[in-house]
Amino acid sequence: MKRITLAALALFGSSIALAETATEKLSMLIGSLNSFSAKYEQTVQGSRNAKGEKSHGTFQLQRPGKFRWETETPFRQILVSTGKEMWAYEPDIESATVQDLEQGLGATPALLLSSTPKQLIDSFVIEETGVGMFKLLPKDSSGNFEEIQLVFENKQLTQLRLADTLGNQTLVVFSSIKLNQPLAASSFEFVPGAQVDVIDNRKKQP
């Protein structure tokens, strides 16, 4: 009986890794994110904006379909997905907008991160561009984004890059990352105060 060497085992292991498709690899990484919380820094580079606009805040997600994106500077804004609807709240002007949760993941990149692997596969053509780097091309051309890139380091999502249909480039860098830790249910709820002006864009049930 021939003896299997360590070199042969290593070659076998690398063959398995190479056999995995980009879709399978990204599905495993996204599927392992039951919850995610982090600070973020966002830079938006427009086609006519050489300097770029920066914002900071916090991001939390709870799979499936829930997230809270809270901008702290340069002005406060809170986006909350309850899993069924999306709220956008601007405290400075006491205004909020609510709509049914967008089903197309390409329209809401934060929703992409809380999606199921099947939703991911159904919505994007996925390419691996480097170690832990993935490019996603929306199958539905009616969305807001032409391309989305995700960067993972040690299986942790560290960067999100977006190219939208208006020619803007957005880079989001995550820090102080916490994976799969309990998050308060209240983070994914929103109840507007009596003084808040609410614009309701939800589809009315017949």
CA distance 174 to 48: 26
Considering the entire predicted model, what is its pTM? 0.81
Q: Domain extents for the chain? A: 21-200
CATH of segment(s) 21-200: 2.50.20.10
| 143 has a pLDDT exceeding 90 | no
In three-state secondary structure terms, 145 is strand
Cα–Cα nearest to 74, from 108, 34, 38, 44: 44
Asked if residue 183 has pLDDT above 80, the reply is yes
- pLDDT of amino acid 107: 59
Q: What is the pLDDT of residues 30-76, one digit of tens each?
A: 888 889 999 999 999 876 655 678 999 999 999 888 999 999 999 99
| The token pair that represents 152 in the structure block | 């993972």
Quick check: 17 pLDDT over 80? no
3-state secondary structure of 13: helix
Cα dist from 62 to 7, 47, 65, 119, 206, whole Å: 41, 34, 7, 16, 31
- What burial class does residue 103 get, using C-beta atoms within 10 Å of its C-beta: 0-12 exposed, 13-18 middle, 19+ buried? exposed
